[in-house]
A and B are shown apart, each in its own frame.
Chain A
Amino acid sequence: DAKTTQPNSMESNEEEPVHLPCNHSTISGTDYIHWYRQLPSQGPEYVIHGLTSNVNNRMASLAIAEDRKSSTLILHRATLRDAAVYYCILRDVTGSNAGNMLTFGGGTRLMVKP
């Protein structure tokens, strides 16, 4: 899977929107952009994914740049429960990833202040 780059950490105030950026300049045309998060002492949790168009679900929105070289996860109103490490991942099961393995990089640690 192609590589992604995220800031190590970000801070937000409770009740405010949060924009978490991800750069993926080597993305291929068949790569899906996925976001997961991992809360302390819990398993990774799927947040959202997309291919080309912006996506919304009950947890978040995903904004994908027109050239697909970057994307932004948007939490519309951060809560204390959103404090977690957020991972941006590109997924393509062709080639070497026949096992559909998720490869998490360092991610962004989001801290939410009351």
Chain B
Amino acid sequence: EAQVTQNPRYLITVTGKKLTVTCSQNMNHEYMSWYRQDPGLGLRQIYYSMNVEVTDKGDVPEGYKVSRKEKRNFPLILESPSPNQTSLYFCASSLTQGPNQPQHFGDGTRLSIL
């Protein structure tokens, strides 16, 4: 089954403790992206990647890192999490970057930073 898989689905942690949210897709998609969703603010893009070893900042990249060492995986790293990073995170992928390409989303990761 074609899917985007995120782990963990839920995480409660403390300020400053490094964490990684994994994202994997099995559709051989070139393009992958991370969003956060907050009430009243909609979806905001954190980072995106057009292909292996190619990543770039989205609208809200501060406090986050990403890597794209292989096509299927696009982990989101919070080196020193802070409470303002408490949010619902979604990973998405599409075949290419093109505007006619549907984006496929994971089920989300709810992070709480205390």
**A residues whose Cβ falls under 8 Å from a Cβ of B:** 30-32, 34, 41-46, 49, 51, 91-93, 98-105
Contact = CB atoms under 8 A, between A and B. Distances in A.
Interface of B: 4, 31, 33, 35, 42-43, 45, 48, 56, 58-59, 90, 92, 94, 97-100, 102-108
Contact of B42 (A42, A100, A104): A104
18 contacts: A34-B102, A43-B4, A44-B92, A45-B105, A51-B100, A91-B100, A93-B97, A93-B98, A93-B99, A98-B56, A99-B45, A99-B48, A100-B33, A101-B45, A101-B58, A102-B43, A102-B45, A103-B43
B99 A99 contact: no
Main secondary structure of the interface of B (DSSP, over half): strand
A42 B43 contact: no
A41 B33 CA distance: 19
Contacts of B90: 43-44
A44 B107 contact: no
Contacts of A99: 33, 45, 48, 56, 58
Given A34-B102, A42-B108, A104 B43 contact: yes
B42 A103 contact: yes
Contact of A49 (B4, B33, B102, B106): B102
Nearest to A97: B99
Nearest to B50: A100
B104 A46 contact: yes
Contacts of A49: 100, 102
